[in-house]
Amino acid sequence: MGITSQPSSIVTSLMPAEVMKQNREDVIAKEIGHGRVLTLNRPDHLNSISEKMALMLGQKFEKYEKDENVEFVIVKGAGRTFSAGGELKRLYDGRNTRDSCLEFAYRVYWFCHHLQTYKKPHIALAHGMSMGGGVGLMAPMKFSVVTEKTFCSTPEANLGYHPDCGLSYILSRLPGRLGEYLGLTGVKLKGKEVVAAGLATHFVPSHKLFQLENSLLSINNGEEDTIRSVIDEFSTNVQIDETSVLSKLSIIDDCFSRETVEEILDSLEAEASKKGNDWIMPVLNSIKKASPIGLKITLRSIREGRIQTLSECLRKEFRITINTLRTLISNDLYEGIRAAIIDKDKSPNWNPSTLDKVHDKQLDLIFKPFEEHDLELQIPINEEECRWGGKYENSGYCLRTK
């Protein structure tokens, strides 16, 4: 399954979900005036990011950046979901073959770098679910629009994994310690909360989304002010009520600023005993059920992300991902996927089983740079380097297999 590209009028730019479902391409690309529309088209799989999807998104974004006739790019999901992130079953199915998903991981991270450093305005119409890598796809765009039916979460630690796709960079730059909170708990933010948290730029009621897209595709230039003014016409102000977890930021900042996961849990336990803090118990339960090693990797990665550049974060996350897939110190990722989506028993057998059994020397192995530089993620460090170089085809991994 690949990608299809075709000119289209504005009238047909928004195909119904059932039409998208009949088109079996992973990504549908449409050329409409000065805009380009990319639709993630795996609705039966919650638009999870496949290897082919990552490859084709990279190819299309490169083509559009170089094309003088293209002013902006819109990305959306077919059906009721934006994207549920990486294709977990693909990872699980390859668990017994070393590096079976290496090319998949490399292409995703390579694309994430170019998405976050894109030279033209890009717009996410993130209606419905956006989880994990889906958040990593939505949040970096110059404009990201959510609706009342949108919800976002980063539940990787619950699977024995870590926030990937640039999320250690994104989460570490949210207000206060909100990034640590979202990364360790996997809690869902809904609709306007996503904007208030800083993961999206606009809230637009879902019934206006069709008209918004048509209006965007009617403009004749890609100036950011022009695009912003169009979206502003359809967006509504965001106000968070007192029941939202975002109204508890002072407690979140206090608890999640602690040095270790254990200290964070102790702090939450203390706060939970106070009147009016009933919301904390579900948070505690969520953390306690997560993979101990996933929690510790997640906290360290986000903390390091606070002082790292985007390139440094992506290279680090790529190392963590490859070492995790190789089960360097634990098979928790595969166990987490098994319990969540394969057997669906919701009873993972974590190894190590408790936080105190996860040692810094183990984590150091996961984070350690590869011994050979050409095995690192090859992305530009500065503007002088080749902007679109470093593709998987030219990486040390691919060249060594030829």
**Environment class of residue 383 by beta-carbon count within 10 Å: exposed (0-12), middle (13-18) or buried (19+)?**
exposed
Least confidently predicted of 9-13, 36-40, 43-47, 206-210:
9-13
The C-alpha atoms of residue 249 and residue 374 are separated, in whole angstroms, by 42
Active site (catalytic) residues:
86, 133, 156, 164
Q: Given pLDDT bands bounded at 50, 70 and 90, which one contains residue 241? A: confident
Query: For residue range 362-381, what is the model confidence (pLDDT) as tens digits?
Result: 999 999 999 888 899 999 77
The C-alpha atoms of residue 42 and residue 39 are separated, in whole angstroms, by 9
- Residue indicated by tokens 């040692």: 359
User: In sequence order, what DSSP letters do the residues of 113-127 get, joined into one string?
Assistant: HHHHT-SS-EEEEE-
Mean pLDDT of 82-108: 93
pLDDT confidence of residue 395:
86
Percent of the chain with pLDDT over 90: 84
The C-alpha atoms of residue 347 and residue 396 are separated, in whole angstroms, by 39
pTM of the model: 0.93
Average pLDDT value for the chain: 92
Helices (H) and strands (E) in the chain, counts: 18, 11
pLDDT confidence of residue 210:
95
